[in-house]
Chains A and B, each alone.
Chain A
Amino acid sequence: MKKRGLGFYLRIYFRILAQDLKSKMSYRADFIISTIGMIFTNISGFVSFWILFRNFPSINGWGYYEILFLYGFSLVSLTPVQCLFDNNWSLRMYVYSGDFIKYCFRPINLFFYYQSEVFDIKGLGQLAFGIGTIVYSWGRIGLELTPLMLIKLIVFLITASLIMIALQNMAAALCFWMQNSFFVLDFVYRFRDYAKYPVTIFSPVFRFIFTFIMPIAFIAYYPSLVILRPGEVPILSWLSPLMGCLFFFLSYKIWMYGAMKYSGTGS
Chain B
Amino acid sequence: MNLKKYLSLTRAGIIESLQFRIAMLVMFAGNLLYLTVIYFLWRSIYASSGSEVVNGMTFSDTLIYLVLATALFGFMEMYAVWEIGRAIQSGKIVLDLLKPMPYRRYLFWSYSGSFVVNFFTIFLPTFIVVAIVTHGAIHMGVNLLYFVLAVVMAVIINYSIDFIVGTICLYTESIWGINIMKQVIVLLLSGATIPIAFFPEPLKTIVSYLPFQSIYNAPLTLLLDSGQDAVSAIKVLGVQLIWCIVMTVISKLFWKASLRQITVNGG
B172 partner residues in chain A, CB cutoff 8 A: 29-30, 33
Task: Report if A187 contacts B (CB, 8 A).
Answer: yes
List which A39-69 residues lie within 8 A (CB) of chain B.
Answer: 40-41, 44, 47-48, 51-52, 54-61
Interface pick from B33-41, B150-158, B208-216: B33-41
A interface, size bucket: 35 or more
Contact of A40 among B174, B185, B198, B199 (CB under 8 A): B185
A8 partner residues in chain B, CB cutoff 8 A: none
B173 A37 Cβ-Cβ under 8 A = no
From residue B134, how far is it (CB to closest CB) to chain A in Å?
19
Task: Report if A36 contacts B (CB, 8 A).
Answer: yes
A41 B184 Cβ-Cβ under 8 A = yes
CA distance A194 to B30 in the complex (A): 12
Task: Report if A115 contacts B (CB, 8 A).
Answer: no
Given A187-B30, A203-B40, decide whether A180 and B176 contact each other with a Cβ distance below 8 A: no
B47 partner residues in chain A, CB cutoff 8 A: 60
Task: Report if B26 contacts A (CB, 8 A).
Answer: yes
A187 B26 Cβ-Cβ under 8 A = yes
List which A162-216 residues lie within 8 A (CB) of chain B.
Answer: 180, 182-184, 186-187, 190, 194, 197, 201-203, 206
B181 A40 Cβ-Cβ under 8 A = yes
A51 B173 Cβ-Cβ under 8 A = no
Task: Report if B55 contacts A (CB, 8 A).
Answer: yes
B27 A37 Cβ-Cβ under 8 A = no
CA distance A44 to B117 in the complex (A): 31
Task: Report if B23 contacts A (CB, 8 A).
Answer: yes
A197 partner residues in chain B, CB cutoff 8 A: 37, 41
Task: Report if A237 contacts B (CB, 8 A).
Answer: no
B26 A56 Cβ-Cβ under 8 A = no
Contact of B194 among A30, A33, A41, A52 (CB under 8 A): A52
Contact of B22 among A29, A36, A40, A180 (CB under 8 A): A180
Fill in one digit per residue for B212-226: 1 if any A CB lies within 8 Å of its CB, else 0.
Answer: 000000000000000
B interface, size bucket: 35 or more
CA distance A35 to B198 in the complex (A): 29
B177 A48 Cβ-Cβ under 8 A = no
B188 A59 Cβ-Cβ under 8 A = no
From residue B39, how far is it (CB to closest CB) to chain A in Å?
9
CA distance A187 to B45 in the complex (A): 26
CA distance A58 to B48 in the complex (A): 6
Task: Report if B200 contacts A (CB, 8 A).
Answer: yes
A30 B29 Cβ-Cβ under 8 A = no
Given A29-B172, A51-B194, decide whether A183 and B177 contact each other with a Cβ distance below 8 A: no
From residue A135, how far is it (CB to closest CB) to chain B in Å?
23
From residue A54, how far is it (CB to closest CB) to chain B in Å?
5
Given A37-B180, A40-B184, A55-B55, decide whether A183 and B40 contact each other with a Cβ distance below 8 A: no
Task: Report if A108 contacts B (CB, 8 A).
Answer: no
CA distance A180 to B24 in the complex (A): 12
CA distance A74 to B82 in the complex (A): 28
Task: Report if B49 contacts A (CB, 8 A).
Answer: yes
Task: Report if B54 contacts A (CB, 8 A).
Answer: yes
Contact of A37 among B20, B44, B176, B187 (CB under 8 A): B176
Some 5 contacts from A to B, beta carbons below 8 A apart, are A34-B177, A37-B179, A47-B188, A56-B49, A58-B48
